[in-house]
Amino acid sequence: MPTVLRESGYQFIIFTSDHPPAHVHVRKEGKLAKIKLDPVEFERTGGFNSGEQSKIIEIVRTHQAFLLSEWNRLQGGQGNES
């Protein structure tokens, strides 16, 4: 489970054996959320409060192209197929 990004105390992870659609898992202080990358939206908020959710979405949007690139690299180009 490679950590592909760390920012503002959040750890952004892509599991190598995961499934489409493209998404990242976000971990901080025992909480774990799941965010779709296109469109950027929560699939599971994982206990993060609304302020944290806004910050996470902002980070993912800022790094969306990079995160999608990492998803494709780690998943062998599976992209957003359902």
Q: Is residue 69 part of a domain?
A: yes
Number of domains in the chain: 1
The H or E element that residue 51 is part of is helix 50-62
What is the per-residue pLDDT for 31? 98
What is the per-residue pLDDT for 82? 41
pLDDT at 81 over 90: no
Q: Is residue 70 part of a domain?
A: yes
Domain residues for 12? 3-75
Q: Is residue 68 part of a domain?
A: yes
Q: Is residue 23 part of a domain?
A: yes
Q: Is residue 81 part of a domain?
A: no
Express each pLDDT in 23-75 by its tens digit: 999 999 999 999 999 999 999 999 999 999 999 999 999 999 999 999 999 98
What is the per-residue pLDDT for 78? 62
Q: Is residue 37 part of a domain?
A: yes
Express each pLDDT in 6-19 by its tens digit: 999 999 999 988 89
In this prediction the pTM is 0.90
pLDDT at 77 over 70: no
d(CA 51, CA 69): 27
Q: Is residue 80 part of a domain?
A: no
Whether residue 45 contacts residue 52, with contact meaning beta carbons closer than 8 Å, is answered with no
**Main-chain phi, psi angles of 28, to 5 degrees:** -165, 130
Q: Is residue 42 part of a domain?
A: yes
Name the residue among 38, 18, 16, 42 with its Cα closest to residue 26: 42
What lies within 8 Å, CB to CB, of 58 at 6+ separation is none
